[in-house]
Amino acid sequence: MMCGAPSATQPATAETQAIADQVKPQLEEQENKKYTTFKAVEFRSQVVAGRNYFIKVQVDDDEFVHIRVFQSLPHENKPLALSSYQTHKARSWQKTVPEGSSWPQITTPLCIGGVWRLVPGRQCKARAVRIAREGRAHRVAG
């Protein structure tokens, strides 16, 4: 795996399920909803100043939630954090994300003022587009 680049999509492991289970209460609180089914199906990871986990979680027969979980470096001694999520996703979603690319639906790498940042796709899309139009940023070639 290249540092900073997401790994290839892999089937979920017991460790992935444990990570998903730890942030489930955060998701339920934000969505104001209880999930009776919460099964990690597949994931990608990304080494940053810690590690991002992009996990596809099955919450119903044909409904999935995509969660991004941040695991800080061990010496920081911080709990896992739910960074972002998307609800109402379908099983076939992974086929729309090319291998080796970042997950543009969740984050978009942008260079803003010479500094690379991962900008949350939905929340900051308008701002990212405006910055790109002004010529102050460019998208990472993927």
Q: Are residues 52 and 93 in the same domain?
A: yes
Residue 18 belongs to domain spanning: 10-101
Q: Are residues 126 and 67 in the same domain?
A: no
Number of domains comprising the chain: 2
Q: Are residues 48 and 31 in the same domain?
A: yes
Domain for residue 89, yes or no?
Answer: yes
Structure tokens at 122: 């939905």
Residue 58 belongs to a domain with what CATH number? 3.10.450.10
What is the mean pLDDT, run by run of 10 residues, along the chain of 142 residues? 75 96 95 94 91 93 91 92 86 47 45 50 53 55 39
- pLDDT for residue 92: 64
Instruction: Give phi and psi for 8, each to the nearest 5.
Output: -70, 155
Q: Are residues 47 and 117 in the same domain?
A: no
What is the spatial distance between Cα 142 and Cα 135, in angstroms, rounded to a whole number? 19
- pLDDT for residue 59: 93
Residues 6+ apart with CB under 8 A from 70: 50, 51, 52, 53, 80, 81, 83
